[in-house]
Amino acid sequence: MAVRKPKVIVTRKLPDPVETRMRELFDTELNLTDQPMGQDELLDALQRAEVLVPTITDRIDSRLLSRAGPSLKLIANFGAGVDNIDVATANARGITVTNTPGVLTEDTADMTMALILASARRVVEGAQVVQSGGFQGWSPTWMMGRRIYGKRLGIVGMGRIGQAVAKRAKAFGLQIHYHNRKPVSPRIEEELEATYWESLDQMLARMDVVSVNCPHTPATFHLLSARRMKLLQPHAILVNTARGEVIDEAALANMLARGEIAGAGLDVYEHEPAINPKLLKLPNVVLLPHMGSATVEGRIDMGEKVIINIKTYMDGHRPPDRVIPAML
């Protein structure tokens, strides 16, 4: 007798190998158009699915969850962050939530270093000059940026991604400093030659480059507030590949416009996909379209984690990447 396949609804188009495997294992309903679902469409999916596979752009709040169907048992998020889901409400309603941690570490760390280099060395500005036909030949004082070798890098959030950034930055000759809820192990500190700062304010005031690598939680909303960013030195560069909500974007745009800090490299935004209009006009900021995890390998790895979480749950076991409110 054939084994019944659980009803799985996927909110966005995923890589072909992932979708194919999901169709083989589950009764899977795909989003062939890759258009984001509206709230009514999400509600319909929540009412029909046993497993919902959303992405980080799908806002699944308490209002939607309160109207979810009785068959919904698992929300298997395609993404490491789960700030798009009201995990506490889901748990209270007996709905398990999973995510895809770990597989995006190297890709995001690569993009962080790319933004540090691009911001310090004015890479995007230079490329635009060449592509517009404005390159008139080499000049000893033109398009000068800043050397990163020997500079101090302050990492805000020393988890998996923060440590991966530190390893890369150390290889580039940067001095590693970090702020975290608690220090990493002495072994890791020694390996990275990293200096721990309990006070974020004190660290920010001394850094040449600051990289934001912490998750977005209620405690980290506007962690880099207008007050804190004013502690940065005028030559400092701020890079964010974590979540836009961690930085007060309006305050950052004003500081960049006034030259109060030298530059910024941003892959995420506070009101994504909207971007503060001031940022779009500034020459001293590198803006990317949330592509830190956008590698073929990374996205397939994410999909495989989603599949493992679904299959493990449906086999009656605790999924390996279950998220509980205490973890947030």
Question: How deeply is 242 buried, as exposed, middle or buried, from its count of CB atoms within 10 A (0-12, 13-18, 19+)?
Answer: buried
Residue 3's alpha-carbon distances to 24, 27, 314, in angstroms, are 12, 11, 12
Q: Which two tokens stand for residue 300?
A: 């397939």
24 counts as catalytic: no
Residue 290 appears among annotated catalytic residues: yes
Taking the mean position of all CA atoms in its chain, how far away is CA 168?
Answer: 18
Sort 5 into a burial class: Cβ within 10 Å, 0-12 / 13-18 / 19+: middle
Give the integer Cα–Cα distance in Å for 298 and 12. 16
Q: Which of 48, 93, 206, 290 is catalytic?
A: 290
Catalytic, out of 243, 249, 270, 299: 243
Q: Which one of 189, 191, 272, 304 is the catalytic residue?
A: 272
How far is it, in rounded angstroms, from Cα 266 to Cα 118? 11
Say whether 254 sits in a helix, a strand or coil: helix
User: Where are the strands (E) in the chain, listed by range?
Assistant: 7-10, 27-29, 51-53, 74-76, 96-98, 152-156, 175-179, 195-196, 209-212, 237-240, 263-266, 285-287, 322-323
- Selection from 247, 285, 298, 286 nearest residue 269 by Cα: 247
Residue with tokens 């109207």: 67
CA-to-CA distance for 229 and 207, rounded, in angstroms? 11
Residue 243 catalytic?
yes
Nearest to 238 by CA among 131, 116, 98: 116
Backbone angles phi, psi at 129, to 5 degrees: -60, -45
Residues with a catalytic annotation lie at 243, 272, 290
